[in-house]
Amino acid sequence: MSELDVAQVVALSLYVSITATVLTSLVGLPLGAFLALKRFRGSWLMRTGVYALFALPSVVVGLIIYTLLSHSGPLGFLDWLWTPIGMVLAESVLIFPLVTGLTMSAVSDVDESVRLTIKTLGANNRQLMARVMHEARFGIFGAVMVGFGRAISEVGAVWMVGGNIQGSTQVITTAIMQQTQMGDFGTSFALAGILMAIAFIVFFVIREIQERG
């Protein structure tokens, strides 16, 4: 692999993972907060379901998304199979329970007296949820970063849905697997170093923000 190829693989990895994290956060954060704050018929089942999906195997996600996006599948008309968009979809589905569930935990940890105080200041339901999320912001940020960490290190689902096409859908993890199988350990270790560096940066940022909080 040339340096240009490596740069392209790293760029695509970041693009797919960041896009999946942002899209998941747009839905997962408010949903997590809602499930933490509201009690309704079936809410216990939903919360339990979200936590249970933490253990969702990536190959199962890959299989489901592959089936949906394949030409004979219900979403085949989108033509997303073997594309970065398909990979974004797979990673989004994979990290959705993590981001939602960890947000739920962070919001649940906000003391009941804090919620009561916000209400005494005249907050309506929407404002209450926003303010409680603000109180839980360090935990919520951690949830987003854990989601990103899971997405960038993902291999099974992106391989199945993206196809590991060099110059098109190859990301760091799938490139490491391919280069290792080809016996190019130098490139594999270089890519592994980049992946580890990204993981450490994510961990460092989480720690730094939580320490400051």
Task: List residues near another protein by CB under 8 A.
Answer: 111, 113-114, 116-124, 127, 131, 134-135, 137-138, 213
Cα–Cα distance, 160 to 150 (Å, whole number): 17
CB of 120 to another protein, least distance (A): 4
Q: Which is nearer to another protein, 124 or 181 (CB)?
A: 124
Q: Which long-range contacts (CB under 8 A, 24 or more apart) does 189-198 make?
A: 190/6, 191/6, 191/9, 194/6, 194/10, 195/152, 195/153, 198/14, 198/152
Which alpha helices (DSSP H) does 109-184 contain, by range?
Answer: 112-120, 125-135, 137-152, 156-162, 172-181
Q: Which two tokens stand for residue 68?
A: 């949906």
3-state secondary structure at position 76: helix
Distance CA 158, CA 169 (A): 8
Closer by beta carbon to another protein, 127 or else 168 = 127
Strand positions, DSSP E, 1-158: none
Tokens of 87: 């990979």
Min CB(33)–another protein separation in Å: 16
Query: Please, which residue, 3 or 112, has the CB nearer to another protein?
Result: 112
For another protein, the closer of residues 41 and 126 by Cβ is 126
What minimum distance in Å lies between the beta carbon of 113 and another protein? 5
> Which CB sits closer to another protein, 76 or 119?
119
Percent helix, percent strand, percent coil in the chain, to nearest 5: 80, 0, 20
Q: How far is the CB of 127 from another protein (least distance, A)?
A: 5
Give me the least distance between CB of 132 and another protein, in Å please.
10
